[in-house]
Amino acid sequence: MSNNWPPQTLLVNTEGIINECESLEVTPEYAERSVLVPAIAMAAFLVTGEYVYARHLWRRWKQNCPSDDEAQALTDWWRVGRAMMESKPETIWHSLARIQQEHPAPLNHYATEVGDAYRRRVILKYPKTAMRSQPFLRLMNFSTAEQVQQFIAQNQEALAEQAANQNKASQISSIIGMLETTPVSFPKFDGSSIIDLTI
């Protein structure tokens, strides 16, 4: 087991964290760290977008959690994963907020990382023209176009890395280019007019 357990972030060596969680499940050391292992594994799967693996983890553990705390943590994280699979943004963001408020460290910190990874996947999934729509803002849990643009600007490196991993490098270049060169129009929430945002 790593000396840095539990990990303070899921963004460094995420696959290694998943492998360590899987190893801990079958070792005697697991009993010492059991409260966090399934929840950490679930959060790591959600960072990587591996929803099927998250579902398998849920099925494997939902009836076998040794404690109520472990069962609740895993249930809360699976609620996020299931909502991601079913594309239910209100449930995703409500559940992540609950985890941030009610779970112990570092699980509460993972909620931000999982949310940001989800936002990056949404950006890469939809064409930039979709980013002008109210449903897109709802998926991102943002209320304004400025928030989307700020998120893209702050996450250019992570978006480029994620795009490379998904073979979508040309799409991210287009999105980042949008930030640098063109004014973007996003509809207001009431739909009555267009807000012109020059970057």
Of the listed ranges 88-92, 127-131, 147-151, the one predicted with least confidence = 127-131
pTM of this structure: 0.81
Return all residues near 20 (Cβ < 8 A) that are at least 6 apart. Answer: 1, 2, 5
From residue 88, how far is each of 10, 44, 79, 81, 167 by CA, in Å?
23, 20, 10, 10, 26
Condensed to tens digits (0 to 9), the pLDDT of residues 36-92 reads 889 999 999 999 999 999 999 999 888 887 788 888 999 999 999 999 999 999 999
Identify which of 20-24, 99-103, 191-195 has the greatest average pLDDT. 99-103
Mean pLDDT, the chain, integer: 82
